[in-house]
Amino acid sequence: MQIIKSDINIDFIGKRKIGYGLSLTLIIISIVSLIIHKGPNYGIDFAGGTLVQIKFSQKVPVSKIRSGLSNIGLKDAAVQNFGEEQAHEFLIRTNNSKMTTKGLSKSISDAITATAGITPEIRRVEMVGPKVGKDLRGKALLAIFYSLLFITIYISGRFELKWMLSGVTAGSLMVVVYFLSVLNVSMAILTAGALVVSLILFWVLQLKYAMGAIVALIHDVLITVGIFSILNLDFSLEVIAALLTIIGYSLNDTIIVFDRIRENIKGSKTTDSLPVIFNRSINETLSRTILTSATTLIVIIALYFLGGEIIHNFAFAMIVGVVVGTYSSIFVASPIVLAVNKK
């Protein structure tokens, strides 16, 4: 199936500066938002504390729920509507993680019953200690970082046959990051520094395809996290799962373009310049890229609207990631490879 004519010739490479400008703007906005909010809005998984989901048989004012919580010492608990308004469901978040799950549930149920006159149904209770939350944050960052480094080994080996060079480079970075993490260095700062060092090494060692892929993936992850920060959405383990899925999806799209670039370079005429070859390769894979992204988005959008509140953030992260990942395969990954080639 082909939705775009095979002879189309859009000058993507010629417009790469516009792409760079748009990407840089989105990244700066994302970083500024993360700085202002002091990181993502961590959910219970990462921040620690307790989350309780309750449901009423009829409408209950939020003020009565807050009043009941205040009576049992949970004045700072956050109460928000969950799902559709007619569902009468609420999420209660508190930093209290010392009480047992059963004890907290009963205390909340009795307190709200006393102020609202209606006994709520306790539908879900999640409790995570602050130490566990901190450990989960570190492991999530390491998971993303290690996945990016393993990708560099695969990309460099497949497209440039530099298995040993990329393997030694990635392995050394992994070992250094692991030992520094054991010494209780801030995981966020450590991961950011390691990624910067990685990009510098890829540039120096001329791992051009790995450089293009990793820059595009960092671009996708950072913008997705930034949008979550801007909208103040919960950043939980489900979102980490979505980010890892986005990395895989975006990488697959990027590899298709890289594969066509490599084939066209091998079969090109001596008069063809690299920008011409790169541009032709992107155009030749454009139909497949758009078709794949469109069909994927249809499924994810259906999941977002029909899958229920529990997976909303996961589905939203996937929607953002697919759109940004498709864009980066065209306007970020390939132009970066071309820039390293020129160097």
Residues in Cβ contact with 327 at an 8 Å cutoff, skipping those fewer than 6 apart: 19
Can you spell out the DSSP letters for 220-281? HHHHHHHHHHHTT-EE-HHHHHHHHHHHHHHHHHHHHHHHHHHHHHHT--TT--HHHHHHHH
Q: What mean pLDDT comes out for the span 49-60? A: 84
What are the CA-CA distances from residue 241 to residues 28, 191, 235, 323 (Å)?
A: 24, 18, 11, 17
Write the pLDDT tens digit of every residue in 294-339: 899 999 999 998 887 778 889 999 999 999 999 998 899 888 988 8
Residue 67 is predicted with a pLDDT of 84
Residue 163 is predicted with a pLDDT of 87
Is the Cβ–Cβ distance between 151 and 167 less than 8 Å? Answer: no
Residue 99 is predicted with a pLDDT of 57
pTM of the entire predicted model: 0.83
Longest pairwise C-alpha distance within the chain: 83
Q: What mean pLDDT comes out for the span 66-87? A: 78
Residue 222 is predicted with a pLDDT of 92
Separation CA 197–CA 241 (nearest Å): 25
Residue 26 is predicted with a pLDDT of 93
Give burial (CB, 10 Å; 0-12/13-18/19+) of 85. exposed
Q: Which of 3, 1, 12 is nearest to 283 (CA)?
A: 12
Residue 322 is predicted with a pLDDT of 93
**pLDDT category, 29, cuts 50, 70, 90?**
very high
How far is C-alpha 266 from the geometric centre of its chain's CA atoms? 35
Residue 81 is predicted with a pLDDT of 81
Residue 220 is predicted with a pLDDT of 93
Identify each DSSP E strand in the chain by its residue range: 41-42, 49-55, 78-81, 89-94, 121-128, 234-235
Give burial (CB, 10 Å; 0-12/13-18/19+) of 167. middle
Compare 185 and 15 and report the one with higher pLDDT: 15
Q: What mean pLDDT comes out for the span 250-272? A: 81
Is the Cβ–Cβ distance between 44 and 113 less than 8 Å? Answer: no
Q: What mean pLDDT comes out for the span 182-195? A: 77
**pLDDT category, 96, cuts 50, 70, 90?**
low
How many CA atoms lie less than 13 Å away from 1 in the CB half-sphere?
7
Is the Cβ–Cβ distance between 28 and 223 less than 8 Å? Answer: no
Residue 201 is predicted with a pLDDT of 85
Write the pLDDT tens digit of every residue in 277-293: 888 888 888 888 888 88
- Domains of the chain, CATH where assigned: 16-43+132-342 (1.20.1640.10), 49-128 (3.30.70.3400)
Whether 213 has a pLDDT exceeding 60, the answer reads yes
Whether 270 has a pLDDT exceeding 60, the answer reads no
Q: Which of 120, 3, 102, 18 is nearest to 60 (CA)?
A: 120
Q: What mean pLDDT comes out for the span 155-159? A: 85
